[in-house]
Amino acid sequence: MLIQRPADIPSSEITPKSVYLQRRQFIQNTLGLGALALLPEALQAKSSDFPRLKKSPYSTSETPTPYDKVTNYNNFYEFGSSKSAPALLAKYFKTTPWSVRIDGAVEKPGTYTLEDILKPHTLEERIYRLRCVEAWSMVIPWVGFPLADLLKRFGPTANAKYVAFETLHDPEQMPGQKSRFSLDWPYVEGLRMDEAMHPLTILAMGLYGETLPKQNGAPLRLVVPWKYGFKSIKSIVRIHFTETRPATTWGRMGPDEYGFYANVNPAVDHPRWSQKTERKLGGGFFSSLFKQETRFLNGYAEQVGHLYAGMDLSKAF
Ligand SMILES: Nc1nc2c(c(=O)[nH]1)N[C@H]1C(S)=C(S)[C@@H](COP(=O)(O)O)O[C@H]1N2
Ligand SMILES: [Mo]
């Protein structure tokens, strides 16, 4: 996250050509040749692993980042620390069978299969911006459901003040976990209970209408749109209710750089760079030259600002 700044590689050079061509072929067959040219690239990737998705009123109206950018420019240190590594190294990552352990201050602890976890929930499409702490952003059409709906099913007790999350630890499959010069494994994150229960916070298992690509955190990841991207932990195997504030991976690396709250805030700079502006990825050559202003809470202040009323956000960053 802090070390590398690779040059942008055109995504057409990264996406395996066969996949790219198949996708184009599918769209041509469905819509006819002429339609293809008229469609924004964002829509060209749409397929239908999840038919009849409910549209969410929480979606942003901004134009989504092209699919190839979303799936080839990733932070997923378990698969290497460069932006292009996860798309290549996560290709054979095994996401079935998958289970999630629910434990801590909760009435129904246990290990649940992914099917059990997902069964009762209605999936919807939520178009959210994701703002990385490194000052780039994307807009992604996620497929998911509110985290609150899941947490309520398992009955958090009165002692549940925070929710902690853990990513799979499996160095045989995740080559980044073999490196001694990377993060502490497993990757862990956490939210205050009210943040976790907010309707904007979702668990995602898809994007662009298809099953979540492995490099984006399959089979199940968190998405918290008003916080820096590192909060949105990928490939979750454990959800743990705690009374005390849980440790976070990036907080351990640099407590002065990556706070627990990690709220997007142009007024609080990262110690080594400004957070006032950002570069929206995938808008083409010219747009990559122009920075746009970062908005407080990533544009979601109206919905979640009240969660931080009275707090000194320069200290609780
Ligand atoms: N387990 C795990 N989750 C993670 C990360 C990671 O390295 N490991 N990177 C985080 C960071 S820094 C960002 S910006 C987002 C990127 O999500 P995306 O690749 O789907 O855009 O994932 C977050 N979740
Ligand atoms: Mo990030």
| Domain residue ranges in the chain | 1-47, 50-308
Residue 13 assigned ligand-binding role? no
* 77, 187, 232, best to mutate for ligand 1 pocket (most atoms within 8 Å of CB): 232
- Using a CB cutoff of 5 Å, list residues around ligand 2, an ion: 75, 132, 229-230
Measure 46 CA to ligand 1 centroid, in angstroms. Answer: 23
Q: What residue has token string 């749109």? A: 225
Ligand nearest, relative to CA of residue 130: 1
The pLDDT tens digits for 215-243 are 999 999 999 999 999 999 999 999 999 99
Report the side by side order of strands in the sheet with 188-192.
Answer: 110-113, 99-104, 236-242, 162-167, 188-192
CA 234-71-237 angle, to 5 degrees, is: 15
C-beta separation of 257 from 228 below 8 A: no
The pLDDT tens digits for 178-188 are 988 889 999 99
Q: Which of 12-16, 47-51, 117-121, 211-215 has the lowest mean pLDDT?
A: 12-16
| DSSP annotation string for the chain | --S--PPPPPGGGTS-HHHHHHHHHHHHHHH-HHHHHHS-HHHHT---SS-SPEEPTT---SPPPPHHHHTTS---GGG-SSTTHHHHHTTT---SS-EEEEEESBSS-EEEEHHHHHTTPPPEEEEEEEE-TTSEEEEEEEEEEEHHHHHHHH-B-TT--EEEEEE---TTT-GGGG-TTS--SS-EEEEEHHHHHSTT-EEEEEETTEEPPGGGTTT-EEE-TTB-GGGS--SEEEEEEESSPPP-HHHHH-TTTS-SS-B--TTS-BTTB--SEEEETTS-TTGGG--EEPPGGGGTHHHHGGGGTT--TTT--
CA of 187, closest atom in ligand 1: 1
Q: Ligand 1: which residues within 6 Å by Cβ?
A: 1, 74-78, 130, 132, 167, 187, 216-217, 229-230, 232-235
**Averaged pLDDT of the chain:** 89
CA of 167, closest atom in ligand 1: 1
Residue 234 assigned ligand-binding role? yes
CA of 186, closest atom in ligand 1: 1
pLDDT at 51: 85
Q: Is the pLDDT of residue 48 over 90?
A: no
Which CATH superfamily, name and number, covers 50-308? Oxidoreductase, molybdopterin-binding domain (3.90.420.10)
